[in-house]
Chains A and B, each alone.
Chain A
Amino acid sequence: MRDEGPPREPEMPSLEKREWHAGRKPGDRSVRIVRPGASMFRRADGQYIATEQVLEPTGPYGRAWARVRRALVGRPLELGAEEGQRVSPLTGLAVLAPSNVSSSAYATEEMMRALAFGGFAALVLAPPLALAVVAVLALIVVSESRVIRAYPNGGGSYLVARTDLGIGPGLIAAAALLVDYILTVAVSAAAGVIAISSVLPHLAEQRVAIGVGLVALVALTHIRGVREAGLLFAGPTYTYIAAIVALIGVGLARVMSGDVPAAALPQGGAVTPGLEAVGILLLVRAFSAGAVALTGSEAAANVVPAFKAPQERNATVTLVLMTGSLAVMFLGLTFLAVRIGVVPDPAEVESVNSMLARSVFGDGSLGHLVVQLTTAVFLLIAANTGFSGFPRLAAVLANDRFMPRHFADMGSRLSHSFGIIALAVIAGLVIVVFGGSVSALVPLYTIAVFLSFLLSQTGMLRRTLRGRERARPVWLALHALGAAIMAGLVLAIAITRIQQAWFALLLIPLLVGLLYSVRRHYRDVEDALTLPGPAAAIPRLQPPVVIVPVGRLDRAAIQALAFARSISGTVKAVHISTSRETGAEFGRRWARLVPDIPIDLIDSPYRSLLAPLLKYIDAIDKSDDRPITVVIAEFVPRHWWEWLLHSQTATRLKAALLFRPNTIVIDVPYHFEDTADLARRR
């Protein structure tokens, strides 16, 4: 083939240009492949891949912000690096356990407090009740591990309920989980503030600010990636577990050796027993209070994709490790508290665990201090669970079009940063609205968790009914029992704590309605945008009627007019003047300088520019069938602060025309650096 040389027709613009070079000899021609953006767009498999360099800002402010962002959040990660962001069971435990395991810090106390209404003698019922709670926990673990296997893409209760029960129950589960996560974050941040202010009381006044700050801190670590958050929070998690296990170990050793420690009395003051009869209602109330230990165990099933392969196995291992350590701690603490004779402090100044530590290790001992400190730090980071669960659930919901699409997008660090920020903002608002005292919201989120468990148990029951797996009757019985217990717990809380739970009962349906309406919107948009047929050709449009509003006859206006003329033969200029004399003067200048483009001069005695212009466009639109295109000349100053010196008429006009149907708005920017060399541009 002879090398003819470059093609004659104008070349299609491309990221790659071919320049022909004649060699010294006739056969030595070569083609140089010029790639102006080679560092920005890498070639691979016939496609271009945007490199990290495209993210580099060009201006000094952009660069400074990028540096700050990089220091806070870290370098952007490539999509392929996702595997590196996945976690092992041990790291996963640090991220997921806080909400679940931290309930060991108060589950015993809540249960004993409810029992104390029946007098001190009723407290002996605490260990059997704790055993019952642990039995339910075991049931949930078995059932959740089945959820993990059945739904390896995460989503937990939402997906189970949605797939096996229908969209409505699925959304109720989703709404309940979202409420749970938001409140986990708000409540744990508030608990963290209380833990801090009990050591440094003068900080109590700033509790709202500290709470919001804590939420922001945990959010930031999660934006950096789940793995980094896990590594950061692994220390406090494992120290807390070790401290509590040590407390139980030493306590049990002393009890078994016959050296039963004397019960420490609350620092708050004397304790008076309740006088209520020990009836079924008291037991139900105590059980539902202790069942707070079940919260957080739904987290593993929601975030299965965050684990390293084999994901299902690792998620299940984490679930078992998490709930196993919780069960040991809960049972151990309850048994010790009852055996030693610790009673809950009615003034709620000192926790049962603190009193236990004082009894076992001694007043003012190092052991007591360590238990208190690790508990405080651990409660502080319990927000972790919310931050790992909410963004992933929101992403699953966004993929199903029940939440705005940005929730499904991955940020530069491969975390769902929009969900993380949204959660931080909402939780921050909850803290601000409730003035940093959100302990009243605890029943609200327990009811939400039990509701989601109820739906996932019912969903799994239905799934098992339809399936043909081995040991079907066993699973049927298990899920039926689980569903019955959860229904009972939801009812028990709704009845016994209606003063607090009404908020959840109101909030969840509201959220469900909101999720539905988001989906309806997306469906409408999809209907409006879907191609009418498989072979939808691009329609041929007739050239539009172009209107060019001109304020001044300057270089920017000339450039806009030149562009307008390049897209259509019907170009009309319009000038709005505030006095008849200036209008007439403008008309004379126009006739002299731009004689070939017609202009309409409009005098606006009320000095309004936009209103007459919009009405003029309406009138032209009515008189002509062709589409209307408004070409706006816009001067762009060199620096952002110079914007303040200009009237922004172009910006206001663009904003006003944005929602006008059948109107194309084209902005022709004229930069300060531009020369008036229009001929070169053409």
Chain B
Amino acid sequence: MQLKRILVAVAGTSVDPDVIRLAVSLAKPAKAEIMAVHVIEVRWNLPLDAVLEPELDHGEELLANAAKVAEQAGLRIETELLQAREAAAAIIDTARERAADLVMLGMPYRTRLGRVHVGKTVQNVYVGAPCAVLAYRQEAPQ
């Protein structure tokens, strides 16, 4: 597969830097571009374009950190901050709009009832994304 544009969803979990580094390692040989996206999920009782100061601050910080990690790994990346009712739908729409060839998501190692838990955003992006999806699950703690 010839990669041209990779979209990385940054959720603010401990696995984010690993996903960014992995994306850089995939993008560099293919000379592909990377775009990091963070989606602020807006509750239904608020307008979609509500100014959510703490979430905006946090989102911007996450994206700045992602850009820093990518730069340390040797690539400048584009970042985008979005507000949506559901993160998965916004990620899928952005992937389609920007013609991404690959969407990458990180999954922190979490278990529920003894099984690894896959969050709804990862599940929905897996199902709905028009392009390839790569979900990176954090290794299990020793």
**A46 contacts chain B at the CB level, 8 A cutoff:** yes
Nearest CB of chain A from residue B114's CB, rounded to whole Å: 34
Write 12 A-B pairs (CB below 8 A) sorted by A numbering: A1-B46, A3-B47, A6-B49, A27-B89, A29-B48, A30-B83, A31-B48, A31-B82, A31-B84, A33-B56, A33-B80, A33-B81
Q: A29 touches which one: B39, B44, B84 (CB < 8 A)?
A: B84
* With A27-B85, A28-B86 already in contact, 13 other A-B pairs whose C-beta atoms are closer than 8 Å: A3-B48, A3-B85, A23-B90, A29-B48, A29-B85, A30-B48, A30-B83, A30-B90, A31-B49, A33-B56, A38-B60, A42-B64, A43-B56
A20 to B80, CA, bound (A): 14
Q: Chain A residue with minimal CB distance to B40?
A: A33
Q: Which residues of B contact A (CB under 8 A)?
A: 39, 44-49, 53, 56-57, 60-61, 64, 79-86, 89-90, 92-94, 96-97
**Contact present for A21 and B56 (CB under 8 Å):** no
A30 proximity list for chain B (CB < 8 A):
39, 48, 82-84, 89-90, 93-94
Q: Chain B residue with minimal CB distance to A3?
A: B48
**Contact present for B57 and A43 (CB under 8 Å):** yes
A16 to B39, CA, bound (A): 16
Given contacts A20-B49, A24-B93, contact A32 B57 (CB under 8 A): no
Q: Chain B residue with minimal CB distance to A16?
A: B56
B81 proximity list for chain A (CB < 8 A):
32-33, 35
A38 to B94, CA, bound (A): 19
Nearest CB of chain B from residue A50's CB, rounded to whole Å: 14
Nearest CB of chain A from residue B78's CB, rounded to whole Å: 10
A27 to B42, CA, bound (A): 12
Q: Chain A residue with minimal CB distance to B87?
A: A30
**Contact present for A32 and B82 (CB under 8 Å):** yes
Q: B49 touches which one: A18, A24, A44 (CB < 8 A)?
A: A18
A352 to B81, CA, bound (A): 74
**Contact present for B93 and A23 (CB under 8 Å):** yes
Q: Which residues of A contact B (CB under 8 A)?
A: 1, 3-4, 6, 16, 18, 20-21, 23-25, 27-33, 35, 38, 42-46
Given contacts A23-B89, A30-B93, A33-B56, contact A1 B83 (CB under 8 A): no
A322 to B68, CA, bound (A): 46
A24 to B93, CA, bound (A): 7
A28 proximity list for chain B (CB < 8 A):
84-86, 89-90, 92-93
Nearest CB of chain B from residue A54's CB, rounded to whole Å: 15
A30 to B85, CA, bound (A): 7
Given contacts A1-B45, A1-B47, A33-B81, contact A44 B90 (CB under 8 A): no
Q: B57 touches which one: A23, A25, A45 (CB < 8 A)?
A: A45
B61 proximity list for chain A (CB < 8 A):
43-44
B86 proximity list for chain A (CB < 8 A):
27-28
Nearest CB of chain A from residue B100's CB, rounded to whole Å: 15
Nearest CB of chain B from residue A465's CB, rounded to whole Å: 54
A23 to B128, CA, bound (A): 12
A32 to B61, CA, bound (A): 16
Q: Chain A residue with minimal CB distance to B47?
A: A1
Q: A44 touches which one: B57, B94, B96 (CB < 8 A)?
A: B57
A664 to B47, CA, bound (A): 43
A4 to B81, CA, bound (A): 20
Nearest CB of chain B from residue A281's CB, rounded to whole Å: 73
Nearest CB of chain B from residue A43's CB, rounded to whole Å: 4
Nearest CB of chain A from residue B53's CB, rounded to whole Å: 5
Residue in A21, A24, A43 with the greatest tally of chain B CB atoms within 10 Å: A43
6 closest Cβ contacts across the A-B interface?
Answer: A30-B84, A28-B89, A31-B83, A30-B90, A33-B81, A43-B60
A137 to B94, CA, bound (A): 75
A29 proximity list for chain B (CB < 8 A):
48, 84-85
Q: Chain A residue with minimal CB distance to B63?
A: A38
A23 to B94, CA, bound (A): 9
Q: Chain B residue with minimal CB distance to A24?
A: B93
A32 to B56, CA, bound (A): 12
Residue in B49, B82, B85, B96 with the greatest tally of chain A CB atoms within 10 Å: B49
**Contact present for B89 and A32 (CB under 8 Å):** no
**Contact present for B84 and A42 (CB under 8 Å):** no
Nearest CB of chain B from residue A504's CB, rounded to whole Å: 56
**Contact present for A32 and B60 (CB under 8 Å):** no
A25 to B124, CA, bound (A): 14
A46 proximity list for chain B (CB < 8 A):
53, 57
A38 to B45, CA, bound (A): 29
A31 proximity list for chain B (CB < 8 A):
48-49, 82-84
A42 proximity list for chain B (CB < 8 A):
60, 64
**Contact present for B44 and A1 (CB under 8 Å):** yes
B60 proximity list for chain A (CB < 8 A):
35, 38, 42-43
Q: Chain A residue with minimal CB distance to B90?
A: A30
A44 proximity list for chain B (CB < 8 A):
57, 61
Given contacts A33-B56, A42-B64, A43-B60, contact A21 B93 (CB under 8 A): yes
A33 to B39, CA, bound (A): 10
Q: Chain A residue with minimal CB distance to B83?
A: A31
A3 to B90, CA, bound (A): 14
Given contacts A21-B97, A23-B93, A25-B89, contact A33 B83 (CB under 8 A): yes
A21 proximity list for chain B (CB < 8 A):
93, 97
